[in-house]
Amino acid sequence: MGCQITGKIKRSLKAAAFVALFGVAAMMAAKPFVHFGESNQPLDSAPPVYVDHEAERLALAPVPTSDSELEEQAGRPVERQVQVTSGDTLGDVLTRAGIDGSEATQAIEALRRVFNPRSLKAGQKVQVTFDRSPHGFGHGDFQKVSLNADPVREVFAVRGANGDFTGSETKRQVSRQIARYAGQIRSSLFESAQTAGVPIPVVMAMIKALSYDVDFQRDIQAGDGFEVMFEGYYDTKGKLVRTGEMLFASVSLSGKPIAMYRFETDGGSVEYFNEKGESIKKALLKTPVDGAKISSGFGLRNHPILGFTKMHKGVDFAVPVGTPIQAAGDGTVEMAGFNGAYGNYVRIRHGSGYATAYAHMSRIAQGLHPGRRVTQGQIVGFVGSTGRSTGPHLHYEVLAGHNQINPLSVKMPTNTKLAGRELDRFKTARRDTETLLAKIAPSTRITVASGSKPGSLTN
């Protein structure tokens, strides 16, 4: 009898152990272990999904406990911030914020006094303010809309006691200063200038101005120098609010300087000229994409797809997919569409019998079609790998008549040469610029009168 009981107990224990093991295995399958050992993911890497840390921080903020704190919180207006997305009108933004259509229209009309709603840009943030709801939930009446029109101005439309909206603006206190930077080029002009402290808009202006004379892949060597002088608008804490005009830029290529001076002509146009008073602007850009690396030059080559020697009638620039492609010069679009082995293709006819062509684009710029006029530097498409292509790049051609020629060997004349009284004015402006360069040490700046021309110093 005792043996039978003992056998039953053993069988029960075995069954219980089996059930427990089965339960653990099921739990492991449903929720695998988290490994705390080695991992390819760095510990400080970004989480796999977006986390609003600011909202979490506010959620953990101390809860008001005193009657005065609760009363103050209850009396605060309700504020909402809405970000402008591509294609938004101000009306769209206000509707998304929960504002009635008629009130939104009134506020926009009041805002027109100080701000053109068409100037709204994607990424801008619009602040909308409501009264606190008397019911304790939602919000009360719409009272104000505000946004930063530019780095200096904030504009408002505020509801008055009579219920009507009034537009107004406030301006940050800024001073116009002239800054000068100089340095050595180590890897690229862009990276070296940015590392030296030159603001990105100025770096881009410098590269664009130099691109008429400089092949940024072949001409620039490590150890070459650069110098730039520009206007900046700084607040009372010395923070750069926005950049103004680039006044001077130069690079020293293997000891040979290329300098350019900003000058306003008698016709009112602003251009950059060399020390002789010749415009640096040429009929065609040397490079129609920024940061371009030549992956295949003009001439005979073994075709990477066809496998035999074939004439390569252009220059290939290796750049990432989506890089904007600029029109090399002013002209009229002759063709814009898919073109066999060229893929997405644009051809532009310029003056003096020249044309340029751009191939393998991921897409052509919106609105570009045959007969459309384009200006130098205008975006005509984006780098891709369409057509007969082994990878993302721009295939760029220059045609004289109907024949392709080497884009890197084309010598384009300057657009403008100053003469007479205008040349004398330029020489005076150039001396003023050189006086400023001598007065300002690299990586420093001086304040000038807000309405003065370069050279009119206040200290």
**CATH number of the domain enclosing 184:** 3.10.450.350
Quote the pLDDT of residue 359: 93
**Same-domain pairing of 430 and 348:** no
Query: How many Å apart are CA 346 and CA 387, to the nearest integer?
Result: 13
**Same-domain pairing of 187 and 267:** yes
Quote the pLDDT of residue 55: 36
Dig out the tokens for 339 from the structure. 């073109």
pLDDT tens-digit profile of 380-398? 999 999 998 888 888 999 9
**Same-domain pairing of 310 and 345:** yes
- Answer whether residue 4 is part of any domain: no
**Among residues 456, 2, 57, which one has the least CA distance to residue 231?**
456
Identify the weakest region by mean pLDDT among 114-128, 245-259, 401-415.
401-415
Residue 139 above 50 pLDDT? yes
Domain final position from 171, 192, 217:
171
In the predicted model, what is the mean pLDDT of the chain? 78
Query: What crossing angle do the helices spanning 189-196 and 200-210 adopt, rounded to 10°?
Result: 140
Quote the pLDDT of residue 247: 96
Identify the weakest region by mean pLDDT among 40-49, 96-105, 166-175, 191-200.
40-49
Q: How many structural domains are present in the chain? A: 3
- Answer whether residue 103 is part of any domain: yes
Identify the weakest region by mean pLDDT among 121-125, 152-156, 282-286.
282-286
**Same-domain pairing of 229 and 327:** no
First to last CA, the chain: 113
Quote the pLDDT of residue 314: 81
Angle formed at CA 14 by CA 11 and CA 15, multiple of 5 degrees = 85
Residue 371 above 90 pLDDT? yes
Domain final position from 171, 186, 206:
171
**Same-domain pairing of 335 and 434:** no
**Same-domain pairing of 184 and 265:** yes
**Same-domain pairing of 199 and 258:** yes
| Burial of 375: CB neighbours in 10 Å, binned 0-12, 13-18, 19+ | exposed
Q: Is the pLDDT higher at 52 or at 97?
A: 97
Quote the pLDDT of residue 199: 92
pLDDT tens-digit profile of 300-343? 545 455 443 556 678 888 888 888 899 988 999 999 999 998 99
- Answer whether residue 190 is part of any domain: yes
- Answer whether residue 316 is part of any domain: yes
pLDDT tens-digit profile of 4-43? 545 555 565 555 555 555 554 555 444 433 333 333 333 2
Quote the pLDDT of residue 380: 94
**Same-domain pairing of 391 and 438:** no
- Answer whether residue 17 is part of any domain: no
Q: What are phi and psi of 307, to 5 degrees?
A: 85, 15
Domain final position from 171, 196, 228:
171
Residue 221, by phi and psi: left (phi above 0), alpha (psi -120 to 50) or beta? beta
**Same-domain pairing of 249 and 211:** yes
Q: What are phi and psi of 12, to 5 degrees?
A: -65, -40
**Same-domain pairing of 153 and 251:** no
pLDDT tens-digit profile of 178-201? 999 999 988 788 888 988 999 989
Average pLDDT for 101-118: 92
Q: Is the pLDDT higher at 211 or at 43?
A: 211
Domain that holds residue 304: 293-405
Q: Is the pLDDT higher at 369 or at 191?
A: 369
- Answer whether residue 69 is part of any domain: no
Q: What CATH code is carried by the domain that includes residue 351? A: 2.70.70.10
**Same-domain pairing of 186 and 275:** yes
- Answer whether residue 11 is part of any domain: no
Quote the pLDDT of residue 459: 33
- Answer whether residue 345 is part of any domain: yes
**Same-domain pairing of 329 and 427:** no
**174-184: strand order across its sheet:** 270-273, 256-264, 240-253, 225-235, 174-184, 444-447
Dig out the tokens for 111 from the structure. 């805002």
Report field, pTM of the whole predicted structure over 0.75: no
pLDDT tens-digit profile of 235-273? 888 888 888 899 999 999 888 889 999 999 888 888 999
